[in-house]
Chains A and B, each alone.
Chain A
Amino acid sequence: MGLKLVLTGNYALAYAAKVARVNVVAAYPITPQTSVVEKLAEFIEEGELDAVMIRVESEHSALAACFGAALAGARVFTATSSQGLLYMHEVVHWASRARAPMVMGIVTRTIGPPWNIWPDHTDYMDQRDTGWVMSFAMDNQEAFDLTLQAFKVSEDPRVYLPVMVGIEGFILGHTSMPVEVPEQKLVDEWLGPRRQPYVVDGSEHLAIGNLASPEDTEEFFMDIQNAMEQARKVVVEVEEEYSKITGRPFKGPVECFKCEDAKYVAISMGAWSGDLMESILQLRDEGYSVGLLRIRYYRPFPGDYIFEKANSTKGVVVFDRAVSFGSYGPIFLDTAASFLKHARKTPYIKNVVAGIGGVNITSDDFSRILKRFVHEVESDDVNVFEWYHKGKVVK
């Protein structure tokens, strides 16, 4: 039997790193990530976790130190947020392109200016093209589960890429709920010792990252694209195994909530999906045929699955908590591209950008947006893009 603990989302990340028996943690403080690494420092100083804590002088160095330790054969973990994630962005790319398995928690927070510590997905989405496998949790249990699974995904020889796990700052990060933490022995047997494609420890002569021709460089990057394709299978396998040993329900890269028979489907990611689920239950009571596809893995993007589940609906509305200024929300762009892969004619696909800068979106807001979307589709007049702000729609 494992333990059932009341944990904040941030502590859930720390506990996952602990039971994964990380060897090295390197981190730099930023709100709202701080309590992740404070907890890990406590584990280490109390002797509950046999690891080295490198208290670096910046996020750039946090990931750089993790990178060095990972190459030298250590299982590593770090966590950051917002400006910190942007500051380490260079090394985020470096780690995946060097195929260094590692895990990072992203406790999301918007980007300044203005200074604002509330969550959206802007910082997380800024890492979209870095070659990391990217998951995102809806609650604290999932924050724990995805983080622990991230180590196994990252160290799978078919993948060998770093993995980042997103949780919304404060909403999950600083609120508590019961979290099942599996028994250490069970985790040890399942996760096993660290695996990585190469180790730089002096045992052989390796040069990592030498100058390369355009052709060789392109091949390295094509390998990452292939590894992402492999990761689609691996994340499912890893969750299936995890589900088997822990008894936790299997959800897959996309969770289908009331989507099987739905005529209209919403797509979302993160904590606000809980409010969206509430809204969907409410609307179902009112007779609306609505459902939800909740993204749990953003990279590799589960586009085929989304297409399969949503293609026969009348309309798909994609909620984004980030926007590519001058274009659309990133999840919308991925969704639209995924539909075009399979079909020339698609259902209506609408993008709603909302909750930016930490603006709270309630289940009532979701209900209002969903009802209007149904109306738009029925009257064959859909606004493809909306920025929903304080109850109003800005087209």
Chain B
Amino acid sequence: MSRPPLPYKARDVVLPGDAACPGCPIPIAWKVLSAVFGDKMILVIPASCSSVVVGMYPGNSLRASVIHVPFASAAAVASGVSEALKKRGITDVQVIAWAGDGGTADIGMASLSGAAERNHDFIYIMYDNEAYMNTGIQRSSSTPRGAWTTTTPVIGKSEEKKDVAKIMIAHGVPYVATASIGYVHDFYNKLVRASKIRGFKFISLHAPCPIGWRFDPRYTVKIARLAVESGLWILYEYYDGKIHLSGPSRPYMDPSKRKPVEEYLKLQGRFRRIDDELLKSIQEYVEKNWEWVKRHM
């Protein structure tokens, strides 16, 4: 797929004056959504930062449709919306469940799994800022090992990050992808591909949060890219039964091309207390993930 001019219509849909923090990755991602779908999208949003970013009644920072829903219910509500639209013969609008990692990997897991298994026709996007940011940076199952959060305040998270994309692949859905707000063209292409596939599509979108990750808001994109360049976050698509490595991640199949993970970690206050042992385990995590990707290509 070619690189389209981006985001060509973003300002028409994602309006200025939303309630995002400086450096927030959410509006960046929404501009990409709007570049693909224009105003013809219905976002189903459970409790998350996005519930706030949309803005305060009677205002609305999106010139598209938004349904705010209870925390655990995004995939179920989107199932209902997509089935009703299909029944009514409406095919020109894209239903998107837009949920954070808490609303997906934790409280929303059952409804996500149900909707995936039933293969409803919509796109589920988990924007992964790796903790409960809206409630004040509490640990989620998607928080990486070693990260400080307000509920892992002294020793950091002891457990590995839950890999929701792999779980979705195990569901046998027609399309799963990982993406990053640091690579908007790649994200754009994935949305385009997903929109052409009927059935359940899942995209795990890496989305660095300046407040929760403790970095200068100017570095949001830089940090997102470092995650990919260090091989920590691997961009791929899964369809037709195998992994298709995405362009930005291709060079990093070769470990010698990867930047040291320290470069990624050191810009973030949440990893300030990381020691050699943890660093080693993060490095092993990178290798393990790459091995898995290579095995399934």
Interface positions of A (Cβ within 8 A of B): 23-24, 26, 51-52, 54-58, 60-62, 64-74, 76, 90-91, 94, 200-202, 204-213, 216
Q: Which residues of A contact B90 (CB under 8 A)?
A: 201-202
CB < 8 Å neighbour of A52 from B51, B76, B83, B113: B83
Contact A210 B54 (CB under 8 A): yes
CB < 8 Å neighbour of A72 from B39, B70, B72, B80: B80
A16 to B70, CA, bound (A): 29
Residues B46-97 near A (CB distance < 8 A): 51-52, 54-60, 62-70, 72-73, 75-88, 90, 92-93
**Does residue B41 face the partner (Cβ distance < 8 Å to A)?**
yes
**Does residue B40 face the partner (Cβ distance < 8 Å to A)?**
yes
Q: Which residues of B contact A205 (CB under 8 A)?
A: 39, 60, 62-65
A201 to B57, CA, bound (A): 20
A58 to B41, CA, bound (A): 27
CB < 8 Å neighbour of A64 from B58, B64, B77: B77
Nearest-CB residue, chain A, relative to B93: A202
Contact B88 A201 (CB under 8 A): yes
Q: Which residues of A contact B93 (CB under 8 A)?
A: 201-202
Contact A64 B76 (CB under 8 A): yes
Contact A55 B118 (CB under 8 A): yes
Contact A212 B56 (CB under 8 A): yes
Contact B78 A57 (CB under 8 A): no
CB < 8 Å neighbour of A200 from B57, B67, B87, B111: B67
Contact A216 B57 (CB under 8 A): yes
Residues B191-213 near A (CB distance < 8 A): none
Contact A60 B73 (CB under 8 A): yes
Contact A57/B113 with A201-B88, A206-B66, A211-B57 known, Cβ cut-off 8 Å:
yes
Contact A94 B69 (CB under 8 A): yes
Q: Which residues of B contact A57 (CB under 8 A)?
A: 110-111, 113-114, 117
Q: How many A-B residue pairs have CB under 8 A?
A: 173
Residues B85-137 near A (CB distance < 8 A): 85-88, 90, 92-93, 110-111, 113-114, 117-118, 120
CB < 8 Å neighbour of A209 from B58, B69, B81: B69
A210 to B83, CA, bound (A): 24
CB < 8 Å neighbour of B80 from A68, A94, A206, A210: A68
Nearest-CB residue, chain B, relative to A23: B87
Nearest-CB residue, chain A, relative to B62: A207
A52 to B41, CA, bound (A): 22
Min distance, Cβ A200 to any Cβ of chain B, angstroms: 5
Nearest-CB residue, chain A, relative to B122: A68
Q: Which residues of B contact A26 (CB under 8 A)?
A: 76, 79-80
A26 to B82, CA, bound (A): 13
Q: Which residues of B contact A91 (CB under 8 A)?
A: 70, 73
Contact B69 A67 (CB under 8 A): yes
Contact B73 A200 (CB under 8 A): no
Contact A211 B52 (CB under 8 A): yes
Contact A72/B69 with A61-B114, A202-B92, A211-B56 known, Cβ cut-off 8 Å:
no
CB < 8 Å neighbour of B60 from A56, A66, A76, A207: A207
Q: Which residues of A contact B113 (CB under 8 A)?
A: 57
Contact B80 A213 (CB under 8 A): no
Q: Which residues of B contact A58 (CB under 8 A)?
A: 110-111, 114
CB < 8 Å neighbour of B66 from A24, A54, A60, A207: A207
A173 to B69, CA, bound (A): 32
Nearest-CB residue, chain A, relative to B90: A201
**Does residue B42 face the partner (Cβ distance < 8 Å to A)?**
yes
Q: Which residues of B contact A68 (CB under 8 A)?
A: 44, 67, 69, 76-82, 84
Q: Which residues of A contact B70 (CB under 8 A)?
A: 60, 64, 90-91, 94
CB < 8 Å neighbour of B84 from A56, A72, A206: A72
Q: Which residues of A contact B68 (CB under 8 A)?
A: 207-210
Interface string of B149-167 (1 = CB under 8 A from A): 0000000000000000000
Nearest-CB residue, chain B, relative to A94: B70
Contact A74 B87 (CB under 8 A): yes
**8 smallest beta-carbon distances between A and B, as pairs:** A68-B80, A202-B93, A57-B114, A209-B68, A61-B76, A72-B84, A64-B76, A69-B80
Contact A69 B65 (CB under 8 A): no
Min distance, Cβ A102 to any Cβ of chain B, angstroms: 10
Q: Which residues of B contact A54 (CB under 8 A)?
A: 79-80, 83, 118, 120
Min distance, Cβ A85 to any Cβ of chain B, angstroms: 15
Contact B87 A52 (CB under 8 A): yes
Min distance, Cβ B198 to any Cβ of chain A, angstroms: 15
A51 to B39, CA, bound (A): 28
Q: Which residues of A contact B114 (CB under 8 A)?
A: 56-58, 61
Min distance, Cβ A44 to any Cβ of chain B, angstroms: 12
Contact A73 B84 (CB under 8 A): yes
Q: Which residues of B contact A201 (CB under 8 A)?
A: 42, 84-85, 88, 90, 93
Contact B111 A72 (CB under 8 A): no
Contact A211 B83 (CB under 8 A): no
A66 to B77, CA, bound (A): 7
Contact B57 A74 (CB under 8 A): no
Contact A60 B52 (CB under 8 A): no
A68 to B66, CA, bound (A): 11
A-B contact pairs, 20 of them (CB 8 A): A51-B87, A52-B84, A57-B113, A58-B110, A58-B114, A60-B111, A61-B73, A61-B110, A64-B69, A67-B80, A68-B77, A68-B79, A71-B67, A72-B85, A91-B70, A201-B90, A202-B39, A207-B54, A208-B68, A210-B60
